[in-house]
Amino acid sequence: MKKILFDINIVLDYYSITRRKKYPESIKAYELALERDDVYPYISTSAISNIEFLKHGVLKREKPEFTFKERKIIIIEMIKEILKYFKLASTPSYIVFDYDDIENSQIIASANAIDAQVVTRDKAMLAKYQNVAITPQIFLAQVKKQTQKIDFANLKKQYYDLQPQIAKQMDDVLNATSFIMGDKIIQLESELQEFTQAKHAITCSSGTDALLLAMMAMDVRPGDEIITTPFTFIATAETIALMKAIPVFIDIEEDTLNIDATKIVAAITDKTKAIMPVSIYGQPSDMDEINGIAKKYNLKVIIDGAQSFGATYKKQMEVHHCDIYTTSFFPAKPLGCYGDGGAVFTNNDDYAEKIKKLRIHGQSKRYHHQYIGMGGRFDTLQAAVLLVKLPLYAKEITLRQNVAESYCKKLSVQTSSLIIPMIKNDRTSVWAQYTIRTPERDNLQEKLKQHGIPTAIHYPMPLHQQKCFQYLNQKTSLKIAEKVVKEVVSLPMNPYVTETEQERIAHVICQ
Ligand SMILES: *Cc1c(COP(=O)(O)O)cnc(C)c1O
């Protein structure tokens, strides 16, 4: 990935008949930047008015017969096209001006702010800013050498695409200096409700805190037992333990890697308070079976949906299949903000009212505290990011599903020991991860690494074997969880994985 800011001279070369002939390298650089997925082209905001002014001069020389108005029409079309192809990089307020060359120092400052190089023919700029400014020739050589590196979550691509809208939303917050709660949080919560059709969506400080808030709302007490899966991120069971409750781990299903609902009843005691399934990699668990058991034994159901926001079970979002559903907006989750964040969803008015208080220190009215709560609010700046991303999320889920489908097709042709993920047909996954299994996991991971393909292990150790949970004295072994931790490997997964990248990845896996 390479960010590149084009200086005015290159842009004018591209749009001038005489200059195109004289500076063919400029044209090649311009075209390559637009063509390559891994080059992110920018133009400095400070350049736009100069481009207009200079283009009048170029046109006057090339087309002396044109009137001012005719030139103006051509220039407007040209600038529109430039703005379609390039993102604007603004001059940052912390610019260091070079008063001998204000124009160039603005361009350099714009480039430095976004960590881009400047492509230019300007000799003075090339001499003065040797680390930043490069010629079109050097740019072409660098990009040709650049191997198309595959990105695991590709947050950079998404930020490049959404940067103007996100900047606008964040500027609103910064200029209003309204950093805690406020209209943006209210708006986001209402959009989250709409998206999930949940009666209540309550944002909070993280997916971990969402779990704590859910358990606090249910009045989980010390010694209560909560039945959950050992094949998950630590936060699932860590929060149970933080509540001084006891995580009771049972084994998972071999095909979905979610909690095995048929093993729940055997784990129920008179201390059991709730069941906490985790929608691992984005796929819901067997919710009908789990809810049936919960009803019979009078237990609560909390879904840890940190990986599954937007997934459906029998055509409905998961919030409709539990007492409380929680999710995370950690950057690498399917719907991520730019820091920590999460949300709690419920159709239960009492829980919702309590959770809203719990997230502000159990406060019922200012400085009056009804419950022991926590500082669990979602940052308004993060809400600003999600207000841009949420409207695009349904489409991103589809893109993720397409990527997953294409992986499955490409990888299922091979007959070796590879196991590809399986989604039950009454539910959908949002593919937080695309995770395959093979007994040769470590070799495969190494091989992929050598080909520049990043992978990750979710997760290398089941929770009942973690040091921090040894005090639980878990006696029975959980065979499937213990086996799959040695076999799982997650492949690059995000909405922008291309067909070519998938072919490259599949080729390495199948060779
Ligand atoms: C990420 C994750 C969490 C924690 O979310 P944070 O927002 O990082 O606190 C909890 N459970 C699962 C299954 C997760 O994947």
29-41 tens-digit pLDDT = 999 999 998 899 9
Q: Give the full edge-to-edge strand order of the sheet including 246-249.
A: 200-204, 342-346, 324-328, 300-304, 272-276, 225-228, 246-249
Question: What single-letter DSSP state applies at residue 336?
Answer: -
**Is pLDDT of 414 > 70?**
no
Last residue of a domain, one of 332, 365, 387: 387
Extract the tokens encoding 338: 């730019």
Task: Please write the tens of the pLDDT for every residue from 167-218.
Answer: 999 999 999 999 999 999 999 999 999 999 999 999 999 999 999 999 999 9
User: What pLDDT, on a 0 to 100 scale, did the predictor assign at position 511?
Assistant: 81
Last residue of a domain, one of 368, 387, 406: 387
Q: Say yes or no: 179 and 207 in one domain.
A: yes
CA of 209 to the centre of ligand 1 (A): 9
Collect all residues with Cβ–Cβ distance below 8 Å to 45 and sequence separation of at least 6. 88, 89, 90, 91, 110
Q: Say yes or no: 344 and 430 in one domain.
A: no
Distances (CA, A) of 290 to 260, 284, 296, 302: 9, 11, 10, 11
Q: Say yes or no: 355 and 417 in one domain.
A: no
Integer Cα distance of 329 and 344 in angstroms: 11
Q: Say yes or no: 376 and 490 in one domain.
A: no
**Inside any domain, residue 404:** yes
Integer Cα distance of 47 and 497 in angstroms: 33
**Residue 444: CATH number of its domain:** 3.90.1150.10
Q: Say yes or no: 217 and 337 in one domain.
A: yes
Count structural domains, the chain: 3
> Which of 427, 161, 457, 242 lies closest to 317, judged by CA?
427
CA of 283 to the centre of ligand 1 (A): 15
Distances (CA, A) of 306 to 97, 167, 194, 328, 449: 46, 26, 19, 5, 27
**Is pLDDT of 147 > 90?**
no
**Inside any domain, residue 477:** yes
Q: Say yes or no: 423 and 462 in one domain.
A: yes
User: What pLDDT, on a 0 to 100 scale, did the predictor assign at position 354?
Assistant: 98
**Nearest CA owner, ligand 1 atom 7:** 207
Q: Say yes or no: 452 and 490 in one domain.
A: yes
**Inside any domain, residue 151:** no
Residue of 203, 205, 208 best suited for mutating to test ligand 1, as the one with most atoms within 8 Å of CB: 208
**Inside any domain, residue 410:** yes
CA of 332 to the centre of ligand 1 (A): 10
Q: Say yes or no: 246 and 355 in one domain.
A: yes
CA of 26 to the centre of ligand 1 (A): 47
Extract the tokens encoding 95: 């610019």
Q: Say yes or no: 205 and 348 in one domain.
A: yes
Integer Cα distance of 58 and 68 in angstroms: 12
Q: Say yes or no: 142 and 36 in one domain.
A: yes
**Inside any domain, residue 140:** yes
CA of 304 to the centre of ligand 1 (A): 8
Residues near ligand 1 with C-beta < 6 Å? Answer: 206-208, 232-233, 235-236, 278, 304, 306-307, 328, 330, 340, 342
User: What pLDDT, on a 0 to 100 scale, did the predictor assign at position 133?
Assistant: 98
Domain that holds residue 279: 158-387
pLDDT mean across residues, the chain: 96
**Residue 301: CATH number of its domain:** 3.40.640.10
CA of 150 to the centre of ligand 1 (A): 25
pLDDT band at 146 (very low <50, low <70, confident <90, very high): confident
**Residue 66: CATH number of its domain:** 3.40.50.1010
**Is pLDDT of 100 > 90?**
yes
Q: Say yes or no: 341 and 362 in one domain.
A: yes
Rounded to an integer, the average pLDDT of 216-232 is: 98
Q: Read off φ and ψ for residue 4, nearest 5 degrees.
A: -140, 135
**Inside any domain, residue 153:** no
pLDDT band at 415 (very low <50, low <70, confident <90, very high): low
The percentage of the chain sitting over the pLDDT mark of 90, rounded to a whole number, equals 95
Q: Say yes or no: 342 and 378 in one domain.
A: yes
**Inside any domain, residue 429:** yes
Rounded to an integer, the average pLDDT of 228-249 is: 98
**Is pLDDT of 159 > 70?**
yes
**Is pLDDT of 4 > 70?**
yes
Q: Could you identify the atom of ligand 1 that is nearest to the CA of residue 211?
A: 10
User: What pLDDT, on a 0 to 100 scale, did the predictor assign at position 475?
Assistant: 82
**Inside any domain, residue 129:** yes
Rounded to an integer, the average pLDDT of 429-454 is: 96
Last residue of a domain, one of 118, 146, 174: 146
Q: Could you identify the atom of ligand 1 that is nearest to the CA of residue 333?
A: 1
Q: Could you identify the atom of ligand 1 that is nearest to the CA of residue 206?
A: 7
Q: Could you identify the atom of ligand 1 that is nearest to the CA of residue 279?
A: 13
User: What pLDDT, on a 0 to 100 scale, did the predictor assign at position 79?
Assistant: 96
Whether the predicted model's global pTM rises above the 0.85 cut: yes
Task: Please write the tens of the pLDDT for every residue from 13-28.
Answer: 999 999 999 999 999 9
